[in-house]
Amino acid sequence: MSELRVAVIGVGKMGAFHVDSLAHRVRGARVTVVSDADADRASEVAAAVGARVETDPLAAVAADDVDAVVLASPGSAHEKQVLACLEAGRPVLCEKPLTMDEPSALAVVRAEAATGRRLVQVGFMRRFDPEYAALRELVVSGEIGEALMLHCVHRNPAVPDTFTSVFAMADSVVHEVDCTRFLLGEEITAVTALKPRATGSSPEGNADPMLVLFETGSGRLVDVESFVRTGVAYEVRTELVAERGQATIGLDQNLVLRSAGRWGGSIAPDFVVRFGQAYDTQMQAFVDAAAQGTVTGPGAWDGYAAVAVCAAGVEAVITGRRVEVRLGERP
Ligand code: ISE
């Protein structure tokens, strides 16, 4: 096939990043169609890469000049749009969440299974980050024995007041859900959320930071500090504790400068900087597989499991109780 023709639906911060990635950093693809509820924004982003604008996202999915789709639209639009991609037989890279609730996410898993092909990839880009990949390899190799625990830190410098603890569970902690499943290779079976004293900039009645605890099928424990108003920078770290050693990723030690009687480095300001390379590597993998009519990255089941764990997490935040996760049957 010549260049893969891609429709990008939703061109806010993430979608615009993907358009730029497809146009300038990824090989074998070009953006032919851009769709966004904001017509001016769509025109601006499309013009920059010589794409056309399609107002109706479902028409963009089915268009003749489209081979594959990238969805960076609001989560509430994903279900319909992913199902349309399945209907049209288009490989799709869908940003999280796959859908807004467990039944609809499981319905997507089943709809994909009915096509007999792998067509849905979910945008869990950390799996394409070299540090996460190395940690997964370490776990698989057994070099430091069985993995026992993970300690995860997930900090954003600032978020709007609409970013509640419930939202943080679905939007931020969801990445730790996927990393836990990816690194340990098993499902999360229960979630507990603790709410320590809140930071002064957290809106009244909102829990920030939060401590979230995952239990896994084999009895491992994973703790996650979610703190989205640190006022510092974007910090994502994971420590693996195993039988014969520990390993840490996310130490931001790229360049250590010594000057004027001090030493130190810098921390990425946001996730697009910290995971920029991972997003591009994820897109290249998507394009390469989509050119063969399929996907190879984290799939519909991973998206469904994340939705199910986050739903339990939201219930845990609201009720203060430990909530079990019961996954449906995998087709
Ligand atoms: C954002 O939506 C992301 O997906 C980032 O990866 C995450 O770190 C951030 O907390 C979210 O708000």
CATH of the domain at 166: 3.30.360.10
- For residue 54, give its domain range: 4-126+276-298
Cβ atoms of 86 and 119 within 8 Å: the answer is yes
CATH code for position 294? 3.40.50.720
Q: Report the separation in Å between the CA atom of 233 and the middle of ligand 1, taken as the mean of its atom positions.
A: 13
Note the pLDDT of residue 48.
98
**Statement to judge: residues 13 and 63 lie in one domain:** yes
Looking at residue 307, its amino acid is V
Would residue 224 count as lying in a domain? yes
Would residue 112 count as lying in a domain? yes
Would residue 61 count as lying in a domain? yes
**Statement to judge: residues 138 and 229 lie in one domain:** yes
Q: Which residues pair with 150 in a beta bridge?
A: 222, 240
pTM assigned to the model = 0.97
Cβ atoms of 224 and 212 within 8 Å: the answer is yes
**Statement to judge: residues 267 and 283 lie in one domain:** no
Would residue 244 count as lying in a domain? yes
Query: To the nearest 10°, the Cα dihedral for 312, 271, 162, 154?
Result: 50
**Statement to judge: residues 147 and 254 lie in one domain:** yes
**Statement to judge: residues 222 and 263 lie in one domain:** yes
Pocket test residue of 166, 172, 238 for ligand 1, highest count of atoms within 8 A of CB: 172
Structurally, how many domains does the chain consist of? Answer: 2
**Statement to judge: residues 34 and 94 lie in one domain:** yes
Note the pLDDT of residue 254.
85
Rounded CA gap, 297 and 45, in Å? Answer: 26
Tens-level pLDDT at each residue, the chain (331 residues): 589 999 999 999 999 999 999 999 999 999 999 999 999 999 999 999 999 999 999 999 999 999 999 999 999 999 999 999 999 999 999 999 999 999 999 999 999 999 999 999 999 999 999 999 999 999 999 999 999 999 999 999 999 999 999 999 999 999 999 999 999 999 999 999 999 999 999 999 999 999 999 999 999 999 999 999 999 999 999 999 999 999 999 999 889 999 999 999 999 999 999 999 999 999 999 999 999 999 999 999 999 999 999 999 999 999 999 999 999 999 9
**Statement to judge: residues 262 and 320 lie in one domain:** yes
Nearest protein Cα to ligand 1, atom 8: 172
Other CB atoms closer than 10 Å to residue 170's CB: what's the count? Answer: 20
Would residue 329 count as lying in a domain? no
Nearest protein Cα to ligand 1, atom 2: 171
Atom of ligand 1 nearest to the CA of 175: 6
Going through 159-312 in order, the beta strands assigned E by DSSP cover: 188-194, 210-216, 221-227, 235-242, 245-249, 257-259, 262-264
Would residue 181 count as lying in a domain? yes
**Statement to judge: residues 102 and 155 lie in one domain:** no
**Statement to judge: residues 280 and 244 lie in one domain:** no
Nearest protein Cα to ligand 1, atom 7: 172
Residue burial 63-100, b: 16+ Cβ < 10 Å; e: rest: beebbbbbbbbebebbbebbbbbbeeebbbbbbbbbbb
DSSP readout, 24-72? HTSSSEEEEEEE-SSHHHHHHHHHHHTPEE-SSHHHHHH-TT-SEEEE-
Residue that has been written with the tokens 């990238």 in this structure = 70
**Statement to judge: residues 145 and 262 lie in one domain:** yes
Spell out the residues 6+ positions from residue 213 whose beta carbon is closer than 8 angstroms to its own.
191, 192, 193, 194, 221, 222, 223, 224
Rounded CA gap, 189 and 106, in Å? Answer: 17
**Statement to judge: residues 114 and 234 lie in one domain:** no
Would residue 331 count as lying in a domain? no
Rounded alpha-carbon distances, angstroms, from residue 130 to 125, 270, 277: 11, 18, 9
Q: Report the separation in Å between the CA atom of 65 and the middle of ligand 1, taken as the mean of its atom positions.
A: 32
**Statement to judge: residues 68 and 18 lie in one domain:** yes
Rounded CA gap, 122 and 303, in Å? Answer: 6
